[in-house]
Amino acid sequence: MDRAASLLSALANEKTPLRDAAPSTPQRAQKTADRSTVARRRVLVGVIAAVVLIGGLLLLLGGGGNGSPIQALVGDTTAPPATFAFKNVSSGYEATVARVNKTKQEKAGKTITPAVQAVVTDLLQKGYVDPDTWGDADAIKDSFTGSAVDQVEPNIDTLTLGANAGDTYESLNPTSSRLKVVALTDANAAAIRAMADFDFTGKATLDDGTYAKVTVTGTLFLVPDGDTWKIESFHVRREIQPKAPKASASASTSPSGSA
């Protein structure tokens, strides 16, 4: 019995391997803090690496400019062109024979005005307001008929902002406009032709950040073509005035075209 008690007492006082292996509380806290520091450093290094990688990709892909793969991914961020509409529209008539009912002639003028207005509006939208069709004869030829079709290309610098307008201008925004549609009537007060007299003014932005005032005036003669009207002859004049011309700047150009 005494021997068994002695053995139990010796076992109770002896340190076990488990007790020897257990770290103290301060040591455990220190190791936890060290792990947190390492984790934060790893996150910071990861963020820096990601920034460097993205910067390298931007340089490699051309900085995201027009035509770059990044531009293709995000889409075109260029503002769309303005939508042109005449601010002042009126109608009238001109009899080609005598003694025709005036009321019917006035009605004929008002009836054809929307269709003629649509033709002139489309011409100015494509020729002056939309940069994608500056100087593009094919874009406006459908508005013409007869021999006038062959005169579009020779007069492209007055029917549009110019064949090389894209090399100088960035955009053009309409500022004022006026249109008068006159019906040329026959003995039955029917419109056999139309005359469209218009004024158009716009503010053009140049590539160098300056501005210019663009003024277009013209007279178009149109004939009915099914449910629409087409231009059979025209006389158009254009004037461009720089807003703040330099001392060495040349005089404003004032081309005109007709057919």
Q: Where are the domains of the chain?
A: 17-78, 89-258
Cβ neighbors of 194 (< 8 A, separation 6 or more) are: 112, 116, 181, 182, 183, 184, 221, 222, 223, 229
d(CA 139, CA 145): 14
Instruction: Yes or no: say if 216 and 240 are a contact pair by the CB < 8 Å rule.
Output: no
Which pLDDT band holds residue 81 (cuts at 50, 70, 90)? confident
Residue 57: helix, strand or coil by DSSP? helix
Query: What number of other Cβ atoms are within 10 A of residue 93's Cβ?
Result: 22
The per-residue pLDDT for range 4-54, each reduced to its tens digit, is: 445 445 444 544 443 444 444 555 555 555 555 655 666 555 656 554 455
Q: Do 219 and 94 meet the contact criterion of CB atoms below 8 Å apart?
A: no
Strand partners, 221: 195, 233
Q: Is the pLDDT of residue 222 over 80?
A: yes
Q: Tens digits of per-residue pLDDT, 119-167?
A: 999 999 999 999 999 999 999 999 999 999 999 999 999 999 999 999 9
Say which CATH topology domain 89-258 has. Answer: Nuclear Transport Factor 2; Chain: A, (3.10.450)
Q: By three-state DSSP, how is residue 37 classified?
A: helix
Tell me, yes or no, if the pTM score tops 0.85: no
